[in-house]
Structure 1
């Protein structure tokens, strides 16, 4: 695995939050053997760098958090790299592009849904996500709740917060 200090967790700072860990909450983003193996497989097969990997058995998928700027190479032409990874690992592959700006990173978790805004709120408040149209609401939830569950896992893992309701302007909570 490529050693890129910019994306490794330090003792004093939570990547992407802009806040020292002791001001938020101690995050446990340790990677097990399988996760490290899957990150190495991604690097070997796609030449891209994953900064995190989650094995989500509930939805039978592997979620990669890919270094900012590596998303295109990770996906490959026509999704070839994702298809190859899926065959090799025997699970569905999903990728989220990391961003230092936490609102952009959280919006990336909901793609292909368009996200109008992300409200991070205070320490104990959940992250609120607003989508511009009803059609984006369904995409933000995902089949069987898979997309919102992916966002919940990643927001907990990176920021120690929960994801609240998905909002549509002038419609309130859904």
Structure 2
């Protein structure tokens, strides 16, 4: 599925690549929560974060907003689990009827983390899952 980027997102991806030496595959500028979210290829999360989180800190200082990084995945199930991190996700099942719904089984103690303050985490996961795998909804049964 093709992801459409704004000019601002493209500029942030270029800066991200320069700082981390990781080519982000997506970027969402979330002005509502004053954050910039990058999606990185599978297996590059550690390199993107940097030792002790140095890359994230440097980017936050340059951009002036919080930085969040989501690791991409080859399947919608794994992508949804990654998008809900750091919540412990045990299993994700995709149901396709009139709409595509991902049912994510999250550790009881991490449901609040998966949802986030004012629903910010699950809303982001929904946006990303729609952009990358055309998943219409994420539910926590």
TM over 0.5: yes
1:46 correspondence with 2:24: no
The structure 1 residue matched to 2:124, chosen from 117, 135, 150, is 150
1:112 correspondence with 2:86: yes
- Contact preservation (8 Å) 1:155, 1:161: yes
Report the aligned-residue RMSD: 1.3
The structure 2 residue matched to 1:129, chosen from 98, 104, 112, is 104
- Contact preservation (8 Å) 1:130, 1:166: yes
- Per residue, is there more helix in 1 or in 2? 2
1:93 correspondence with 2:56: no
Unaligned 5+ residue runs, structure 2? Answer: none
Max radius of gyration: which structure?
1
- Contact preservation (8 Å) 1:60, 1:92: yes
Q: Distance in 2 between matches of 1:38 and 1:50?
A: 9
Other structure's SS at 1:105 match: helix
- Contact preservation (8 Å) 1:49, 1:66: yes
1:102 correspondence with 2:66: no
Other structure's SS at 1:113 match: coil
- Per residue, is there more strand in 1 or in 2? 2
Unaligned 5+ residue runs, structure 1? Answer: 1-13, 15-26, 168-174
Deviation (angstroms), 1:78 = 1.1
Q: What pairs with 1:51-62 in structure 2 (closer than 5 Å)?
A: 51-62=25-36
